[in-house]
Structure 1
Amino acid sequence: MSDLCSPTFEDLATRLGFSCEEAGGIFELRSPLALENWTLPVLEATIVLGAVLMLVHAIVRLRRTGDATNLVVWLGTLAFLFIIEPLLYFPDAFGVEEYIDTMFAHNVFTVEFMWGRLPLYIIAIYPLMATIAFEIVRMLGVFRQYGTFVGAACVGFVHHAFYEIFDHLGPQLRWWEWSLDNPINQPFFDSVPLPSVVVFAALWPMSLAFCVQFFVGRHIDAGRTFSGVELTWRTIVVGLLASVGTVILPAPATVIGMGSTTVRATIYAAELVILSAVAIYVLSRQWTRLRSTPADRPYSNNLVRWYSIVYLAVMAVLWFAALPDWFAAVDGVTEAGDPIGNLWYAVVCFVIAIACVTATFTIPRSQPAGADETPSRALAGA
């Protein structure tokens, strides 16, 4: 759709290997064999399958136990997505192009929406990542022991670890392309904008988790159930307020660092360090406590535990496939002209993510009756 092809997006699309002028319409379907490289359909299948399984599990859990928390996490992420993403994809259409130029472009995948802007897997990655992070923290009983705010901070930390494994690999494998000159993306941490590393990977899921737990989770933990109407408006509020939180939480960096990239980077980094320090202390202390007091374990989610392993295994394979070009890169760019992410940061995130998943497996298995929904039981009851 030519009138939606801004110069910046057209340039990014060309670098990714497709034409903005030829990018479908509201919906487009293409062969997975016709994509840029084999890693795109593998990523797409992994993310979409995981999101679907998480949705089925959330619905089954609501039907069986009355616990709507997982469903609100899943749907709340979509409410957030449809508030934020259209503005980022079509700043001209919303009249904000003077303030928000095109920040990035996704490559074309098997299933596409919105004239090549929104692959299905991007819609799916929001609820998948948020559910994994939220449920890991919930399985460790952090919300119950430390409260909503600290629990939300831990969700942000866990989400950050899982997401940055993906975030530092995408540009090299042409999953998307960042606009290097856009001031909103500055500064960059190798091939990834630091605002993405901090705001999207950590502060956004923290904001979402806080809203979910405040409006729904803590009430359900106390034994309350909600009607369909109550869940609907609470889910919409979660999406809206999570969006507001994503503006408020990084405000120190965006306001104080408005005139200096260095100041902005320093504050972003400080926020991430503080968040990480709190989360590491709380998660490790809570894991130790649950190991010694198994009766305090709140509940289990086997689907999240096992699919976390699937996700990490797939990402490890994709990273190994990218390593030859990564090590051969010169000045941060591969021979094919693709920017590389920070391998060592990704390794640290792998270690953290593996440790978090392992923690959920190493807690004694005693829990209240009916609290554990295994994948097979959940799908059978759907």
Structure 2
Amino acid sequence: MSDLCTPTFADLAARLGFSCETAGGLVEFRNPFALENWTLPVLELTVVVGAVLALWYAIVRLRRHNDPTNIVLWFGAIAYLLIIEPPLYFPGAFGISDYVDTMFAHNVFTVEFLWGRLPLYIVAIYPMMATVAFEIVRNLGVFRRYGTLVGAVCVGFVHHAFYEIFDHLGPQLRWWEWTLEHPFAQPFFDSVPLPSVVVFATLWPMSLALCVQFFVGRHIDRGRTFTGAQVAVRTVVVGVLASIGTAILPLPATAAAGISGSTTVGGVVYALELVLIAVVAVPVLYRQWRRGGDDTSVATAGPLRVVFGYAAVYLAVMAVLWATALPAYLGAADGVTAAGDPVGSLWYTVLCFVIAGLCLAAAATARRQGQPVNRENHSTSVSENNAGS
């Protein structure tokens, strides 16, 4: 689709090792053994398997317990993707090229959509990671005890930890390339735009979780049921409103940068938003782990163990990929490897590994740590708590 092959995207594609002039069509399949490097198919397989397991888990909850929360979460994440991503890939086609140039380009993977713009694994990572973060927070009982808003904040915090492990490694391994001079990408945190660290790693899953829990999850907790049509409508509403929320939540940083004329000032406000989220989430998650989590997890304990087991595998795979990238990382000069690839932040990645591992361990062991819950008293407390949320 040469008419959509803008100079910026063409340059990014060339740096990644492919030509946008010859990049497939609506759907394209490639040899996984002929990609840029071996880490691409490993990443692709890991993420796609996780998305499939997340969908399986959602179906299990729906069929066994008439709980469509995870179905709405899964497809709501896909709806969000379809709203947010295409304009970023084709700003000209959406009439915004005078305001937004191409911000980044993904490398080409085994399965591609939209003329080399959208790899299958990117489609998969939205529902996969949203499910992992949401289930960690739900299994710790945060939504039931603290309500929808605080629960959503915790989902954003947990998602951030899992996502940034991947985000700070991608540019070095040529999974994608950023447009360095793009104003919306400023300021950079090593190889990652700080707006990406905050908005795409934290605020969008927070917005999604808020909408899912508000429109579906809290009603299911009260014993309400939904028809298939109601679930479908609420899924679309969740995708749309989560997209709007992702535009609203970063407004303090956007306004600060616009008023001051400084992306550094905007970056400081982005960082403060992230700190605020951490200040809320860390004590809440810790207290819930100490209390023993949510007794409702017993109903889906087996399938949930599969989800948490997958999350552990994801962290292990990322650890291996980081380990293989370390020699080039340690040999980098001025933030660039000898091969010319930008490196992320190792200390921040280690911090995210620790946070993600602790959150996962807390959720996986919460049932064993806690005491049995009296269901009659528990139901009363749930009703009282939800009435205030």
TM normalised by structure 2 equals 0.92
Q: Judge which range, 57-66 or 306-315, deviates more.
A: 57-66
Which residue of the partner structure matches residue 84 of structure 1? 84
TM-superposed CA distance for 1:368, in Å, is 9.7
Q: Distance in 2 between matches of 1:40 and 1:265?
A: 30
Q: How far apart in 1 are the matches of 2:155 and 2:165?
A: 16
- Quote the Cα distance in structure 2 between the aligned partners of 1:182 and 1:52: 34
SS in 2 for 1:298: helix
Which deviations, in whole Å up to 9, do the C-alpha atoms of 1:111-169 show, x marking residues without a partner?
Answer: 00000000000000000000000000000000000000000000000000000000000
Distance 1:50 1:129 in 2: 8
Instruction: Please give the secondary structure, in 2, of the residue aligned with 1:329.
Output: coil
AA at the equivalent of 1:281:
P
Distance 2:72 2:44 in 1: 23
Report the Cα distance in structure 1 between the residues aligned to 2:314 and 2:323, rounded to whole angstroms. Answer: 14
The aligned counterpart of 1:374 is none
CA distance, structure 1, for counterparts of residue 179 and residue 356 of structure 2: 29
Q: CA deviation at 1:191?
A: 0.1
Partners of 1:176 and 1:110 in 2: CA distance = 14
Q: Measure the CA separation in 2 of the matches of 1:368 and 1:108.
A: 53
2:166, 2:282 → 1: CA distance? 21
Task: Confirm or deny: 8 A CA contact 2:137 2:363 kept in the other structure.
Answer: no
Distance 1:304 1:143 in 2: 19
Letter in 1 for 2:132: I
The CA deviation string for residues 45-87 of structure 1, in whole angstroms up to 9 with x for no partner, is 0000110111012112201110111111100000000001110
Query: Contact 2:91/2:100 (CA < 8 Å) preserved in 1?
Result: yes
2:319 equivalent to 1:321: no
Equivalent residue, structure 1, for 2:207 = 207
Q: Tell me if structure 2 keeps the 8 A contact 1:105–1:177.
A: yes
Question: What is the deviation of 1:273?
Answer: 0.2
Q: Secondary structure in 2 aligned to 1:280? A: helix
C-alpha separation in 1, matches of 2:17 and 2:264 = 33
Q: TM-score, normalised by structure 1?
A: 0.94
RMSD: 1.2
After TM superposition, give the deviation of residue 351 of structure 1 in Å.
0.1
Preserved CA contact (<8 Å) 1:160 1:202: yes
Give the match's secondary structure for 2:105: strand
Specify the code of the residue in structure 2 equivalent to 1:298: T
1:17 maps to 17
Equivalent residue for 1:153? 153
Structure 1 residue matching 2:367: 3-state secondary structure:
coil
Corresponding letter in the other structure for 1:26: L
In 2: Cα distance, 1:368 partner to 1:44 partner: 44
Unaligned runs of 5+ in 2: 376-389
- Matches of residues 115-130 of structure 1 in structure 2 within 5 Å? 115-130=115-130
CA apart distance, 1:360: 1.6
- What residue is the counterpart of 1:298 in the other structure? 296
List per-residue Cα deviations over 1:178-199 (Å, max 9, x = no partner).
0001100000000000000000
Task: Write the distance in 2 (CA, Å) between the matches of 1:267 and 1:256.
Answer: 7
Q: Is the 8 A contact 2:26 2:115 kept in 1?
A: yes
Contact persistence 2:2–2:20 (CA under 8 A): yes
Question: Residue 296 of structure 2: SS of its match in structure 1?
Answer: coil
The code of the aligned residue for 1:277 comes to V
Unaligned regions of 5+ residues in structure 1, if any? 370-382
Whether the 8 Å contact between 2:254 and 2:266 is mirrored in structure 1 is: yes
The question of 1:270 aligning with 2:272 is answered: yes
* Alpha carbons 1:298, 1:367 under 8 Å: kept: no
Work out whether residues 57 and 307 of structure 2, in 8 Å CA contact, stay in contact via their aligned partners in 1: no
More displaced 10-residue stretch of structure 1: 313-322 or 256-265: 256-265
Shift, 1:358, TM fit: 0.6
Query: How big is the shift at 1:99?
Result: 1.1
Give the percent of matched residue pairs that are identical in Structure 1 and Structure 2.
69
Distance 1:65 1:368 in 2: 20
The 2-side partners of 1:353 and 1:126 are apart by: 17
**Aligned counterpart, 2:339:** 336
Residue deviations 1:259-311 (CA, integer Å, cap 9, x gap): 21111011000000000111001101111122xxx7x5331421221111010
2:387 corresponds in structure 1 to: none
- Between Structure 1 and Structure 2, how many residues are aligned? 365
Once residues 172 and 148 of structure 1 are traced to their aligned partners in structure 2, the CA distance between those partners, rounded to angstroms, is: 37
Does the 8 Å contact 2:53/2:307 carry over to 1? no
Amino acid across the alignment from 1:158: V
1:282 alignment counterpart: 284
Aligned with residue 351 of structure 1, among 339, 351, 354: 354
8 Å CA contact 2:160–2:201 kept in 1: the answer is yes
